[in-house]
Amino acid sequence: MAAITYAISVTIAINVFWSSSNLYGSGVTGLAQLIQTITSRYLHIDFMTTPVMLFVLNIPIMVIGWQKIGHHFTFYTIVALGLSTIFMHFISGEPLTSNPIINAVFGGLINGAGTGFALRTGISTGGLDIIGILMRRKTGRTIGTINMIFNFFILLASAILFGWSTAFYSAIGIFVSARVMDALYTRQQRMQVLIVTDKPKSVIENIKIGLHRGVTIIGEAKGAYSKNEKTILLTIISRYELYDFRNIMKETDPHSFVSITSVVKLYGNFYEKKVN
């Protein structure tokens, strides 16, 4: 279902919104559009279309994903990529508007939503998603940020081909797509959790078993009103794990005090669950 949703989303984004205003998408999709533009305009080659080039460019990336990330993940990525290639090739849509800003924003919104949903359900859309996942493990940067770095060169090429105004409109679409993608793909969003509890052993054990997260014991504390002895614990989880964490705390110590904040930057060893 996620693969079909992504395929429909990227088809609508490109065929209905972006192509009508000569706007480029993000990552390998934008590179495929760029190759089509160059080959058709300057080399008069018509068979190197965006869907064909999207599939060809992703072949070596799929090999890397199969080896470095996981077979299950890569298989469904191939399914999503194959469906999007077929949909883009055979399904065309009439432009809803010629306004480049509207096309950029709504194309980015639809593309980012489809990509983020696919990543959230455990599959990828190929291209920079796989490269981004591998680089995120090394650098800690979000997938959307990694995409935007790569896309700088796509925008530069679009400026040369169509002018700077088109490049700026494309940048709007890429920015919207990246932000929506980051908002939906919650596995990469880290949360700092501070727990004040009088059942530290049970809480630590259940977090280790349920979330496979380490817990740091900060120290002992005493309630100012109740005078009861407490223990302060610290751990880091992803936003994706927040629901499971809440259930663990409800079952282990429903009367504990928990403070959760977003982590801006994280250094050190943070275990990231591998994608199958």
Each residue's pLDDT expressed in tens, for the chain with a length of 276 residues: 778 888 899 899 998 999 888 898 878 888 898 899 889 888 888 888 888 898 888 888 888 878 776 777 778 888 888 898 889 888 877 788 889 999 999 999 998 898 888 877 777 677 776 776 677 666 656 565 666 677 888 888 888 888 899 899 999 998 898 888 877 775 667 889 999 999 999 999 999 998 889 899 998 888 778 778 899 999 998 877 888 899 999 999 998 999 999 886 777 666 665 555
What pTM, to 2 d.p., does this model score?
Answer: 0.69
Q: Exposure string (b/e) for 65-100, b if CB count within 10 Å is 16 or more? A: bbeebbeebbebbbbbbebbbebbbeeeeeeeeeeb
70 occurs within a structural domain: yes
Residues 176 and 203 in one domain: no
Residues 176 and 237 in one domain: no
Least Cα distance to 230 among 248, 204, 257 occurs for 257
216-222 and 190-197 beta bridge pairing: unpaired
Say which residues have a Cβ less than 8 Å from residue 256's Cβ, sequence separation at least 6. Answer: 195, 196, 197, 198, 199, 203, 249
Domain range for 246 is: 189-262
Q: Which CATH number goes with the domain that contains 206?
A: 3.30.70.120
Residues 182 and 197 in one domain: no
Residues 165 and 197 in one domain: no
User: How far is residue 175 CA from its own chain's centroid?
Assistant: 13
Residues 235 and 130 in one domain: no
Residues 156 and 180 in one domain: yes
Number of separate domains in the chain: 2
267 occurs within a structural domain: no
156 occurs within a structural domain: yes
Q: Cβ(167)–Cβ(156) under 8 Å?
A: yes
Residues 120 and 228 in one domain: no
275 occurs within a structural domain: no
Residues 10 and 136 in one domain: yes
